Structure 1
Amino acid sequence: MSAPLVIDVHAHVLTEEMMRLMRNEAPDIGPTLSEVDAEGGVLKVGEIVQRPFPRGGWDLDRRIADLDFAGIDMQVLSVCPQTFLYDRDAALTGALAAIQNEAIAGLVRHRPKRFLGIGTVALQDPRRAADELRRAVLELGLGGIQIGSHVEGKNLDDPALEPLWATAAELDAFILVHPQKAAAGNRTGAFYLKNLIGNPLETTIAATSLVFAGVLERYPDLRICFVHGGGFLPYQTGRMIHGWKERPECRLHLKESPEVSIRRLYFDTLTHYGPALRYLTDTFGHDRVLLGSDYPFDMGTLECVRQVRAAGLPDVERDAILGGTAAGFFGVGGRAPSARHAHA
């Protein structure tokens, strides 16, 4: 019996061709690389500076070599969060999103045995975002989209986002939620706390906003995955349940205990800590946990597969986390996607 595919659902890409096309569309904010050496460079997107930007972010040969080292068969490509650009004109962000989505679809076509893909959208214009999600899935063949944790301070419970959730539910689209512009930035400047604490905090705010707004009650089959092990939410579920029982504002939009909605979420494996990974699987079920590397960034890891294998999980649970569940979502490895998605 052949081993199941190992699929990494949390990985970012921004090739030099993507950068060139984006600069042509928007010279003032199009991505640029500088200080390039054998290991990486400095990425600039408008005023956003990412240092370092590892070479695997744009060099596909390096990426494939790293995937082989990690033991990853397939990688779900998504954009770098530096290119979300929710603070720009929606038409411009939408045009840049379309460029990236078409490029990712091209990479998937070029290397179908190694890459899957999800797109990006102009989340500041939810109807435009819903339309691009539909195009990404039905025309480009992508599996869904990656979105940021907020839209310029508006949480994901914003009622204006309803068209996006409705479209995602209709298409059985996979949605990866990634932190950006982390909260408490004025207090997390030292010690790299903006990432160590800020990114998991962003994920937590995004997830709890969706839960308490009742989005998962309205759309119980949404496939929403929260990176970095779900931030702090999985480990504070008891606090959320207690708050819902005690505080009327927690019950404003939520008929059932928040635990019901939290158990409908998905989390990636990127906890960097075996006991935390075991907590996720023991508490929420192995079918709610997906392999994630956060490639190519330095807060990610190429040890993700080995970490899952070292967690001491039963074979069935291990294989589901490493790729079985994701294979079902994306329709690879002999697993068919859902009927609604398959007609694409």
Structure 2
Amino acid sequence: MKLIGIEEHYLTADVRAAWAAASLAATDPSVAIHSGEVERRLLDVADQRLALMDETGLDVQVLSLTTPALHDLGPQGVDLARRANDAVAEACARHPDRFQALATLPVGSPDSAMLELERCVLTLGFKGTMLCGRIGDRNLDHPELSPIFESAARLGVPILLHPRTPPPTVRSAYYSGFTPEVDAAFAIYGLGWHYDAGIQFIRLVLAGTFDRLPDLQVILGHWGEVVLFYAERLAAMDRVSGLKHPIDTYLRRNLYVTASGMFSAGYLARALAIVGADRLLFSTDYPYQYRPGRDARRFVAECGLDDAGKTAFAYGNWERLTQGVSL
């Protein structure tokens, strides 16, 4: 059975240098985790990555620029995005049976981001794009960012909403008071990342994004970034939301969820109950959740789905979601 991981990350040397030049590590502790072995694996899109994919049992990686991507880099992001996308397109061309890609966008310049998404999908053959939460003080539902979502809906490609670090004021209020190392871990991969990504999706729902763009498809990692586990409480907002449909409708019509290396049959079962078998996607969250010993393939084999469900989860749902684009 083919196995496609749809949330698998890379980094380029010039993006890393741009983060350093902008002193992002001073405001975003996630920048510091992109070092050592993690950084080496992120920068490699060749033989070692392929060998590690084989070791965990993954046939295809869908490559996306890791968080915080270009969200804090302003106008220089336009050129950086183009260079990153061209570089990953070359990797996909060298290994077309092993790599696919999601577009990196200069999100600080929404009109340029819209054009770059069109170039990546229509010219480079990318499968969609990935966004990493807020852009400055703007949440993803801000009207200025609507060209990005409109472009994705028009092209018929999905948007993966990736976690990013909460802003300093939020970290100070909720994720501080321990050691610097614990504060950082708590605010990023311990919990803060995931609340932040889930909140961005719910903001898109409450802002009426999916009423205006009913065909837009969004992906959340880590089994729905907490959202699915509070679906019943979110539904209580139906009486005040003013939306065209119950919130449950958007979960089943506009949301896909992926594992992101959290190989839990219990979490899969919860996702299955909320969004349905045709909206489950596989991923390993490489290199952050790298799992050797063909662990990826073992999880699919033992996840509890029937044969048709396993096929859909392993690759079928992704191929159906990304089977074509339109203008």
TM-score by length of 2: 0.86
- Name the amino acid aligned to 2:65: V
2:222 aligns to what?
Answer: 228
1:256 maps to which of 245, 262, 283: 245
2:73 maps to which of 88, 93, 101: 88
* Alpha-carbon displacement from aligned partner over 1:288-335 (angstroms, at most 9, x marks no partner): 1110111011x45453432232121111111111111112334xxxxx
1:20–1:203 distance in 2 versus 1, CA, 3 Å: closer
Matched, 1:69 2:58: no
2:256 aligns to what?
Answer: 266
2:213 aligns to what?
Answer: 219
2:32 aligns to what?
Answer: 49
1:282 aligns to what?
Answer: 273
* Alpha-carbon displacement from aligned partner over 1:238-293 (angstroms, at most 9, x marks no partner): 11111222xx3x32xx1211111121201111344221111111321111111011
Matched, 1:316 2:308: yes
Q: Is the Cα contact below 8 Å between 1:269 and 1:304 reproduced in 2?
A: no
**1:198, CA displacement in angstroms?**
0.7
2:116 aligns to what?
Answer: 132
**1:22, CA displacement in angstroms?**
7.2
- Name the amino acid aligned to 1:207: F
**1:29, CA displacement in angstroms?**
5.0
1:37 aligns to what?
Answer: none
Q: Is the Cα contact below 8 Å between 1:120 and 1:145 reproduced in 2?
A: yes
**1:338, CA displacement in angstroms?**
2.5
Where do residues 1-344 of structure 1 align in structure 2 (5 Å cutoff)?
Answer: 3=1, 5-14=2-11, 18-20=12-14, 23=17, 28-29=21-22, 48-50=31-33, 51-54=35-38, 55-59=40-44, 60-82=46-68, 84-90=69-75, 92-182=76-166, 184-186=170-172, 187-189=174-176, 190=178, 191=182, 192-194=185-187, 195-245=189-239, 248=240, 250-251=241-242, 254-263=243-252, 264-270=254-260, 271-297=262-288, 299=289, 301=291, 303-330=295-322, 337-338=323-324, 340=326
TM-score by length of 1: 0.82
Once residues 244 and 108 of structure 1 are traced to their aligned partners in structure 2, the CA distance between those partners, rounded to angstroms, is 43
Between Structure 1 and Structure 2, which shows a larger proportion of strand residues?
1
3-state SS of 2:268 partner: helix
Once residues 313 and 150 of structure 2 are traced to their aligned partners in structure 1, the CA distance between those partners, rounded to angstroms, is 27
**1:27, CA displacement in angstroms?**
8.4
Once residues 142 and 6 of structure 2 are traced to their aligned partners in structure 1, the CA distance between those partners, rounded to angstroms, is 26
- Name the amino acid aligned to 1:294: D
Once residues 77 and 174 of structure 1 are traced to their aligned partners in structure 2, the CA distance between those partners, rounded to angstroms, is 14
Q: Which has the higher contact order (CA 8 A, sep 6+)?
A: 2
- Name the amino acid aligned to 2:313: I
**1:224, CA displacement in angstroms?**
1.2
Once residues 59 and 314 of structure 2 are traced to their aligned partners in structure 1, the CA distance between those partners, rounded to angstroms, is 10
1:39 aligns to what?
Answer: none
1:34 aligns to what?
Answer: none
Once residues 223 and 87 of structure 1 are traced to their aligned partners in structure 2, the CA distance between those partners, rounded to angstroms, is 25
3-state SS of 2:250 partner: helix
- 5+ residue gaps in structure 1? 32-41, 331-336
* Alpha-carbon displacement from aligned partner over 1:186-223 (angstroms, at most 9, x marks no partner): 23255421211111101111110111111112222222
Between Structure 1 and Structure 2, which shows a larger proportion of helix residues?
2
Once residues 339 and 228 of structure 1 are traced to their aligned partners in structure 2, the CA distance between those partners, rounded to angstroms, is 26
- Percent identity between matched residues is 27
Once residues 122 and 23 of structure 2 are traced to their aligned partners in structure 1, the CA distance between those partners, rounded to angstroms, is 27
3-state SS of 1:121 partner: coil
